[in-house]
Structure 1
Amino acid sequence: MRTPPARRTCAALAAVTCLALAATACGGTTKEDVRNENRSATTGGKADPDAELRKGLTVAFLPKQVNNPYFTVAGKGGEKALGELGSRYKETGPSSATDTSGQVSYVNTLTQQQVDAMAVSAQDPGALCTALKQAMRNGIEVVTYDSDTRPECRNAFVSQASAEDLGRTQVRLLAEQIGHKGEIAILSAAQTATNQNTWIGYMKDELRKPAYRDMRLVEIAYGNDDAQQSFQQTQGLLQEHPDLKGIISPTTVGIKAAAQYLSGSRHKGKVKLTGLGTPNDLRRYVKDGTVEAFELWDPAKLGELAARTAVALASGQITGKEGETFRAGALGEYTIGEDGVIVLGKPAVFDAGNIDDYDF
């Protein structure tokens, strides 16, 4: 019997577009179907913290920028965790921290490649949403880490620390260093960076308290997580505001570039610098007096938690709903908070007294 034309067309389409991104028009089994079958078989479609962790998964990390030292350390943490869990790590992403359209194309490519999960540090809170929703519709677990997108566009967000803690403590660190008095500036990354803007919002709120009545935020500059741009922005801030007493840079690239500029200028030791940096990047600047104290979390642990969250999602131990719990190896047990947020822990402060205790 001759196959009707419509059926031949559908069969041909299915053969050519068997990738998860397109396997919807003609029915058949998609990756989402397989995932749901796996979950139904072991958890009844609900989170089961005792479900066995799946092995042989492919988890892709998509940072804001590849070859960025911070994201390299985070990626190594994720890779190590996935190796212990019997799954595969891969990394891909743009070379520029402002290439939002590039991030979208990488999400689409990973969806086409049918990875099991992806861990994404979003450059923009909304730009990735359509692509990430498509990935989830095709059975891919989506975890954001370091920088979030909108809650409906991912399964869970692994936060470095409480956004409020990070924003307020950076102001407190700088205030202590300048005696709660004087003009200050912020050197951020990209204007659209979700995490940066959230932290800055809490910084502004902290500065409204009576304790900071003699401090004034005069400018927010953007170095786009580029070393040269951040160096130049630091120079510009000091030229524009000759009475500047301190700079907060909540970005590892920015604070290192600012420290580099200050260390070779007449402002060294006079203009205080704090923010978020890695001990290895800032050790020399702490020891030469350019930087007094700064803070961060362990990016390797952030990457590890993102990887373990992705595997827990793919295994049905969690679905991303508030109140669900899971164990993340040696990191301990975590409970998912409001809007699917998982907090790594409290930020750590680094200074001359403890910086040699850390190597990352």
Structure 2
Amino acid sequence: MLSQLRKVLAVSALSLVAVTAAHAADKHKVAFVPQLIGIPYFNAMEAGGNRAAKDLGVDFVYSGPVDTNPVDQLQIVQNLIDQGVEAVSVSVLDASSIAPVVESAKAKGIKLFTSDSDAPDSGRAVYVAQATDEGLGTTIIDELVKRVGGDATIGIVSGEATASNLNAWIGFMQKEAAAKYPKLKLLAPQFAGGTAERAAQISGDPMAANPD
């Protein structure tokens, strides 16, 4: 998975350079805004971005919120736009609220696209994904069943409730479970807001209520 994420950022950086070729006289400056900083998943994307930037000779800015706060994320994106980066990629926390910053980027000739988590109705330039939502969701369920059996009770602890990618994965998990594992019981999703501490905390209640 980490190597795949690095490939995603490498492709993203190539796309950024391609869409900003008109500024070839200057060193390109591109940015990636994750859902939050400091977790292994996005650390891998940062590493991929840095490696691609070195290979391509561009400046790469990695900046994101310290927790999954959509308001903070949008402000970071807007700050990057105001600083004049040539392109910015966002792993979107709230697809319903990003359209104004997309328009702000367009007004300044900045390419804004999404990666990992999309906002398809925002007017973004393109979406770069590490895998399909269906592939991720179905694989999660299939791998869990291999480990706990097809008649187990499974709880779902996700990140931010507004993240389109996470909700899509959950939807495909539920669909796969209903189609292939009729005896499997999926509990209602719980949302931890992107922090391991909160995830561990809220995992305790369903585990206590469902010891099986």
| Identity of matched residues, % | 30
* CA spacing shift, 1:216–1:76, aligned 2, 3 Å: same
| Distance in 2 (alpha carbons) for counterparts of 1:132 and 1:212 | 41
What's the counterpart of residue 38 of structure 1?
A: 22
Match of 1:196 in 2: 166
Q: Does 1:117 align with 2:101?
A: no
1:212 and 2:196 are equivalent in the alignment: no
Which residue is 1:306 aligned to? none
Letter in 2 for 1:217: L
Decide which of 96, 103, 107 is 2:77's aligned counterpart.
107
2:67 corresponds to which of 96, 108, 116? 96
Question: Which of the pair has the greater relative contact order for Cα pairs under 8 Å at 6+ separation?
Answer: 1
| 1:125/1:192 contact within 8 Å kept | yes
Alignment pair present for 1:56 and 2:27? yes
User: Structure 2 counterpart of 1:85, which letter?
Assistant: L
1:143 to 106, 113, 121: 113
SS in 1 for 2:103: helix
User: Are the equivalent residues in 2 in contact too, given 1:184–1:219 (CA < 8 A)?
Assistant: no
Please tell me the residue identity of whatever aligns with 1:204.
Q
Q: Could you give the per-residue CA deviations for residues 101-136 of structure 1, whole angstroms, max 9, x where no partner exists?
A: 111111211111111011111111121121122112
**Which runs of 5 or more residues in structure 1 are unaligned?**
1-34, 40-52, 244-360
Output one character per residue of 1:273-296: Cα deviation in whole Å (capped at 9) or x when no partner.
xxxxxxxxxxxxxxxxxxxxxxxx
Could you say which residue in structure 2 is the equivalent of 1:130?
100
- Aligned match of 1:251: none
* Greater strand content: 1
Residue 242 of structure 1 and its aligned partner are, at CA, apart by 2.2
- Counterpart code for 2:31: A
How many angstroms does 1:55 deviate by?
Answer: 6.5
Q: Which secondary structure state, in structure 2, belongs to the residue aligned with residue 60 of structure 1? A: strand
- What is the distance in 1 between the residues matched to 2:35 and 2:61? 15
Measure the CA separation in 1 of the matches of 2:154 and 2:39.
27
Secondary structure of the residue aligned to 2:205 is helix
Equivalence map 1:323-338=2 (5 Å): none
Q: Where do 4+ consecutive residues of structure 1 move more than 6 Å?
A: none
1:136 touches 1:154 (CA, 8 Å); kept in 2?
Answer: no
Deviation track 1:176-219 (CA, whole Å, cap 9, x = no partner) reads 2222112211111111111100011111111221x311111122
Q: Does 1:85 align with 2:65?
A: no
1:122–1:149 CA contact under 8 A, matched in 2 = yes
Change (3 A) 1:36 1:185: closer
| Contact kept in structure 2, 1:55 and 1:86, CA below 8 Å | no
TM-score normalized by the length of structure 2: 0.84
Distance in 1 between residues matched to 2:20 and 2:115, nearest whole Å: 25
**Aligned partner of 2:66: which letter?**
S
Q: Give the alignment of 1:234-249 within 5 angstroms.
A: 234-243=203-212
C-alpha separation in 1, matches of 2:76 and 2:54? 23
Residue 247 of structure 1 is matched in structure 2 by: none
Q: Tell me the secondary structure at the aligned position of residue 171 of structure 1.
A: helix
DSSP-derived class of the 2:154 partner? strand
Correspondence for 1:69: 40
* 1:232 and 2:201 matched: yes
Cα distance in 2 between the residues matched to 1:115 and 1:220: 37
**1:102, 1:56 → 2: CA distance?**
28
1:163 maps to 133
Amino acid at match of 1:203: M
Assess if the C-alpha contact under 8 Å between 1:207 and 1:213 holds in 2.
Answer: yes
